Structures are given as structure tokens and as C-alpha cells.
Amino acid sequence: SGLLQVSAAVKAAPSRPSKKRSAPSVPTAPARQSRRLRGERVESSRFVHEEKGGRFEFGREGAGADDTVGDEDDNLSEKAEPKHYANRIHDETPISLAQAVENVGEKWLPSSDSQNEDEEGSSVALQNAERLSEAISKWDSTSVQSPSNNRRRSPSIVKEGGLDPAVQKRVQRLAIDTSGTSHGESNEKLVPDRIYSMAFHPSSDQILVGAGDKQGYVGLWNASSSSKDKVHRFRVHAACVNSLEWTPRGDALLSTSYDGTCRLWNVEQQQFEQVFAAYGKESQYAQQPGAGILSGDYGNNGKDVVWFQSATWDHRRPEHAFFVSTSVGSVLHVDIRSRNRLTWQESLSDRKINSVSLHPNGYSFLSSGLDCCVKLWDLRKFETANQKKSKQGTLKPLATFHGKKSINSAYFSPVAGQHVVATTMDDSLDVLQDFHLTTTPPPIVTTTTASKKKSRSTKVQNDASIQVVQRFPHNNCTGRWLSTFMAPWHPTVDHLFAVGSMDQPRNLHVYSTQQQEVAVPGLSAVASRLCFHPSAHEIILAGGNSSGRVTLIRESKD
């Protein structure tokens, strides 16, 4: 038919591309420019120069301004800080309690109905802090854990192979406690910013928890107090407070910071003493303890950026000596009674050391960090090497456990020291048994790269003598806005530790060395940093989050 002929002709005809209609041209609008960019004179005004962690740094421009950013007179910070070495908040002299309260700033002082709110708020905060100091100094010494109590095995709370059944029942009763908060909420605001460190006062009948944050603030929450002013804030550092730890008698609080200082709050004298600090080779600081640390003299391979990463008391000489780990892989031993303060130092890694831990035997020593390893050392060799003035880095670890990825923390169990819990970025909690008795060769680490995907995989073969008795899968990837997880042991109940959780709804996990015991629900945010109260009569722990809030958890009465 004719239709078939037409169809065949259309198919045989060469195809011609269709012409695309060009869109009508629209004139491009000129890019918007401010009058400052166009070179026009403007009235005096301010602009946001930089935003960090929700805080703004302002600059000034326009008539009568010199267009400099961050000038002291034009900065909208709460209170101008004096300039000291490395931008620290204070010099090497002690910070009085009044100065520590004044450094807090108006925003975080107690509210007042007086006309002069700033002066009245500062005065009220100082009076509250003085009353707290007097109360701590008068607490009955029998209610405070003695220095040796944490280092002895107690048959009533230690059981070979796991938790005592009575302790297990108490753990199952853990729940959020709101009785100690100021307004009946589930948590208390202690510090302005993200919490990096926490510590309970060692009194067995008082609940006083401290927290250090990203900006150098230290907050104390007296949950046992009947007063409405339960929270006390101080600012004694210029940067992140990464470690807080009370002396065994509870009469002083040690704090270390990224600003390179270690301060000790003497409760009786009501002042924060600088017991150790890092300096360069400037002549005016040549006589200071820690001179030269910022100049490559202490194992930092000539790097300029050095900070203190963690600190813990040396329980062999409690209240006088402590260990400090650094960002460049060195460990320092500081004795505040000695003239030079620094008794020895050793380079244990070429990467940052996140945590150190001393075994109850007094000489087995752990270091862990970005080198992906938990290393076992003998402190007696450190002290001998220091006396002989041998070269740094010549000592070798007795044993090494490789965790594939970086280690956030690794701690000996404080009662018997039988176990080590390592929190790794390999998304696991590794429990090692009798690691302090191990002497092993270095692990075999092989790295392969796939040719197509260009992905790297690491295979680790640890020595067979290292006993990993449990490996709990646990999401430890907190991201950049949360502090990393670091699982702490209970100070007096062996086999018990806890860690934060990324689960939804928010909770935290309590483990024994054999199993997960309980997930405590009801948290408002991720509790990255935890600490246990040292009391063996009741299990109490606290969790701090990235908003500066602390949640108290204890055994429910129901």
C-alpha cells in the first residue's frame, strides 16, 4: 500500500540532526561588591573575621579605624587577656582563686539581681569558691581513699575471671540521677565548651566531679551540696585542659593543658600553682623547669609545635610526682619537690602519645598513641639510663601490641593490674591479660596496596604470647566535633570499665572483662569522657559531652 511505501522511504532517507534552539542571551549581572572592596569610605563598623566553635572574632573597618583585625581595643571578647609566654593566660606565678574566677568572664558568672551585675556576680562566685575550698579542706580524712587503698587486692570486690555477682547486680541498677542538679534536669552545665577531661574527688561520702574543656575552663559540680550554687568555674589555662586528677588525699587538683602548662590547685592555700611548664631557649626562661622543651631538646626532632597530651600521678610518690606525655612522642617525669622538677625524660615514639599508665607493681609502664601500638616499658631502665645520661630513644619496649589504627587510650586495671583495656580507632575495645608479664619481639606489620582501587590494607601479626582475652566491637569513630572515647577502669572495683557510645538513642556502656554488663539509657548527648567515683560502696560515674554538660549516673534505689 501507499503507507508501506512512504514508511520504507522514510527509513531509507538519511537522518538529519535537529537544530538546537539557542537560548536568548541574558546580560550577566555584575558581581556584588561591598563599598570596602570598591574602595569607598564607609562609616566605622565591625565585621566577623573568624568563627571557631561558635565564637566569633571581630574586626573593624571604616572611618577612624586602621582596618587591622583582632586589635585588642576592637576585639569583642568578654575580657582582654594579658599577653604572656606562648599566649598563656598567666605567667609562672600562682593564680589566686579571685583571679581564676575573674578569668571566667561575665557570661559564666552566677546571675545577680544587683544593678552592678558584673561585680556582684564575680563576688558571689568568689565567695562560693572560697566556701568550697574550706569545705574540701575540712572533709574527714577517714572518708578519703588512702594512697595505698587503690593498689591492694580486696577479696570482697575482686574475683578471678570476672565481676563478683553482687557487683553485677549493682551494675544492672545504674541509672541517671537528677537529685544533684540545680534545676532537676538530667545534667549540669559545668564548662562552656567541649569536655576533654573529668575527675571525681576521692572522698567516699562526697560527690564532687570536675571537668576541663577546650578553652581552658575547669568546672566543679558539688552534687552533694544542698545549696543552689552547686557549680563553680575557674579559668587557669589558655587552651584545652586535657587531664584532671586529684591527689589521693583530695587536697589538690592537677591539671595539664595544650598551652604547655601543668597547674596544681592547692585547696588549703586557695591558689593554682604552676608546677611545670614548657619553654623554648629564650634566655629569660633558661632557669625555668622545662626550658628547652619547645626547642627540640626533649625528643621532638626539632619540631616547633609541642604540647602536653596527658598526665597522671605517679602512685609510688603520690602528691609529689607525675608523668606527662607529649605530642611528639616523649614522656616526662616531674617531681615538684626537686629543684629542677624534671627527673627524667624519654622519647618512646615518633608520634603523639595519647595516654600512659603505671602498673600497681611500680615499674611496668604503658604508652599508647598515634603509632597504633600499646608498648610495655620498664621504668627502672628509664631511671638507670637517666643516671648514665644515655642517648634518648635507645631503650626498647619489652612488649608491643599493634592495634592496626591509632590507640586512644590503654590503661592497667588499677586494683590487681591483671588486665589492660585499649580503646582503638579500629572500632574495638581490646582487653589484654597479663600484658605486664609479656616479653615479645616487635609485631609483624605488612601493608598492601590494591592496584585498581589504590586502597591500603594493613595486616598485623602480634606475638602469640599476647593474650587478647576479649575484643568487643565498638564504634569509636566520634568525628571532629566530639572528644575521642577513652575507656576508664573503676578505681577500686576490678574487672569493671565504661565507655561512651554513638548509639541512638544516646547511652553509655559498662563492661566487665568478660562481657558488656549494661547500656545506661536516657542521655541527651554523646558522653565522650567518663570517670568513676572511687567509692567501693556504691557505683557512681559521670559522663561529659561536647556542650560542657555532665550527667551523673549511680545505682537506683528502686
- For residue 9, the SS3 value is helix
Q: Which residues contact 157 (CB under 8 A, 6 or more apart)?
A: 164, 167, 415, 492, 493, 494, 536
Q: Cell 546571675 appears where? A: 111
Say whether pLDDT at 56 is over 90.
no
Q: Please report the pLDDT score of residue 285 as a whole number.
A: 86
- What's the CA gap between 552 and 213, in Å, rounded? 17
Say whether pLDDT at 149 is over 60.
no
The number of residues making up the chain comes to 558
Q: Can you read off the three cell numbers belonging to residue 30?
A: 555584575
Q: Can you read off the three cell numbers belonging to residue 273?
A: 600553682
Q: What is the DSSP letter of 328?
A: T
Q: Please report the pLDDT score of residue 409 as a whole number.
A: 98
Q: Please report the pLDDT score of residue 282 as a whole number.
A: 85
Q: Please report the pLDDT score of residue 451 as a whole number.
A: 52
E strands, 393-546, are 399-402, 407-412, 419-424, 428-433, 444-449, 456-461, 467-473, 496-500, 507-512, 516-521, 529-532, 540-544
Say whether pLDDT at 30 is over 80.
no
How many CA atoms, within 13 angstroms, populate the side-chain half-sphere of residue 98?
Answer: 2
Least confident of 58-62, 98-102, 223-227, 309-313: 58-62
| Of 397, 408, 424, 303, residue with least CA distance to 355 | 408
Bridge-partner residues for 449, per DSSP? 456
Q: Can you read off the three cell numbers belonging to residue 109?
A: 558568672
59-65 mean pLDDT: 44
Q: Which pLDDT band, with edges at 50, 70 and 90, does 66 fall under?
A: very low
User: 447-474 burial string, b = 16+ CB within 10 Å, else e?
Assistant: eeeeeeeeeeeeebebbeebeeebebeb
Q: Please report the pLDDT score of residue 128 as a whole number.
A: 92
Q: Please report the pLDDT score of residue 154 as a whole number.
A: 34
Report whether 516 contacts 154 (CB < 8 A). no
Cα 281 off chain centre by: 29
CATH architecture group of domain 117-164+198-440+468-495:
7 Propeller (2.130)
Q: Please report the pLDDT score of residue 465 as a whole number.
A: 77
Q: Please report the pLDDT score of residue 132 as a whole number.
A: 92
Say whether pLDDT at 213 is over 70.
yes
Of the chain, the percentage scoring pLDDT greater than 90 comes to 53
Most confident of 157-171, 207-221, 305-319: 207-221
Q: Which pLDDT band, with edges at 50, 70 and 90, does 490 fall under?
A: very high
DSSP 134-180: HHHHHS-GGGBPPTTGGGS--TTT--TTS--HHHHHHHHTEEE--TT
Q: Please report the pLDDT score of residue 299 as a whole number.
A: 45
pLDDT in tens, 314-370: 999 988 999 999 999 999 999 999 888 899 999 999 999 999 999 999 999 999 999
pLDDT in tens, 362-414: 999 999 999 999 999 999 988 765 665 555 557 889 999 998 899 999 999 99
- For residue 131, the SS3 value is helix
Q: Cell 532517507 appears where? A: 13
Q: What is the mean pLDDT of the chain?
A: 81
| Of 367, 469, 473, residue with least CA distance to 418 | 469
Kindly list the domain boundaries of the chain, sorted by start residue. 117-164+198-440+468-495
Q: Which residues contact 433 (CB under 8 A, 6 or more apart)?
A: 418, 419, 467, 468, 469, 513
457-470 mean pLDDT: 78
Q: Please report the pLDDT score of residue 223 as a whole number.
A: 92
**Radius of gyration over alpha carbons of the chain, in Å?**
29
Q: Please report the pLDDT score of residue 225 as a whole number.
A: 86
| Of 425, 100, 111, residue with least CA distance to 264 | 100
Q: Please report the pLDDT score of residue 481 as a whole number.
A: 92
Q: How far is CA 300 from CA 258, 292, 341, in A?
A: 15, 11, 19
10 Å CB burial of residue 62 (0-12, 13-18, 19+) is: middle
- What's the CA gap between 168 and 34, in Å, rounded? 66
Q: Please report the pLDDT score of residue 449 as a whole number.
A: 57
Q: What is the DSSP letter of 543?
A: E
pLDDT in tens, 99-130: 999 999 888 887 654 444 545 678 889 999 99
Say whether pLDDT at 148 is over 50.
no
| Of 201, 199, 200, 203, residue with least CA distance to 139 | 203
- What's the CA gap between 324 and 435, in Å, rounded? 22
Q: Please report the pLDDT score of residue 18 as a whole number.
A: 59
| Of 52, 51, 70, 50, residue with least CA distance to 60 | 70
Bridge-partner residues for 499, per DSSP? 509
Q: Please report the pLDDT score of residue 137 as a whole number.
A: 87
Say whether pLDDT at 73 is over 70.
no
- Which carries the bigger pLDDT value, residue 215 or residue 462? 215
Say whether pLDDT at 31 is over 80.
no
Q: Please report the pLDDT score of residue 393 as a whole number.
A: 57
Neighbours of 182 (CB within 10 A): 15
